[in-house]
Amino acid sequence: MAKNEKISSAVIRRLPRYRRYLGELIKKDVARISSKEFSEILGYTASQIRQDLNNFGGFGQQGYGYNVKELHGQISKILGIMQEYHLVIVGANHMAKALANYSYYKTAGFIIDGLFDINPEIIGTEIDGKKVLDYVELDNFLQNNKIDIGVICTNKQSAQGVAEKLEKGGIKGIWNIAPVDLVVDKSIQVENLHISDSLHALVYYMNHEEQ
């Protein structure tokens, strides 16, 4: 990373989108792209794209634009998705199945090492070829395996307890799908995927479509 200032969250949330489009361009064998062309695809201003990227260094070249493959790689590096991450999923419900089976992860370095549930009828069943383990074994599992990310797919009542267990187990990040906000040490990153919040925002905009 070129500069040491804190990058705003708005910028960070655009990076995955940039990367996604660059991936599509690679598939289409597009070798280079200018901020202007890219802005037309993405619907941002060219200036914003240049500003965003310049937070991390000058990846482009005057008169040429950006090399698509290189920029894709640079953004991957910035985000930190050039390496593997080991995950556990707690709560082996439909959402867990959706996440575990999501083909994307299999190609992208996210490895689900363990699935846990508390329900005896679910423990022992298989999800994506992996046996669901008893939640009581989670502590042990975290001690014996190097896990980076814990995914919380439980109901809201159980989520905070699971978060605390994951925290004790030495996890670095929590991906929280449960519809609550978790309280954990600030050294642990929590990313919420609040499904109903998203639906509520949709409904708001449907009712106020003049924008």
Partner DNA sequence: AAAAATTTGTGAATTATTTATCCAGTTTTT
Partner DNA sequence: AAAAACTGGATAAATAATTCACAAATTTTT
Residues that bind a copy of itself (CB under 8 A): 6-7, 12-13, 15-17, 19-20, 78-81, 85, 93-95, 97-99, 101-102, 104, 108, 110, 148-149, 172-173, 175, 179-181, 187, 189, 191, 193-209, 211
Give the one entry of a copy of itself, DNA, none that residue 125 binds, where binding means its C-beta sits below a cut-off of 5 to 8 angstroms depending on kind: none
Binding pattern for the stretch 50-79 against DNA, x by CB under 7 A and - elsewhere: xx-xx---xxxxxxxxx-------------
Cβ-contact 165, 151 below 8 angstroms? no
- The Cα-based distances of 204 to 34, 179, 192, 211 in angstroms read 35, 19, 20, 10
42 versus 118: smaller Cβ distance to DNA? 42
Interface positions, 17-36, toward DNA (CB under 7 A): 33-36
Please give the span between the terminal C-alpha atoms of the chain, in angstroms, as a whole number: 37
What residues line the site for DNA (CB under 7 A)?
8-11, 33-37, 44-48, 50-51, 53-54, 58-66
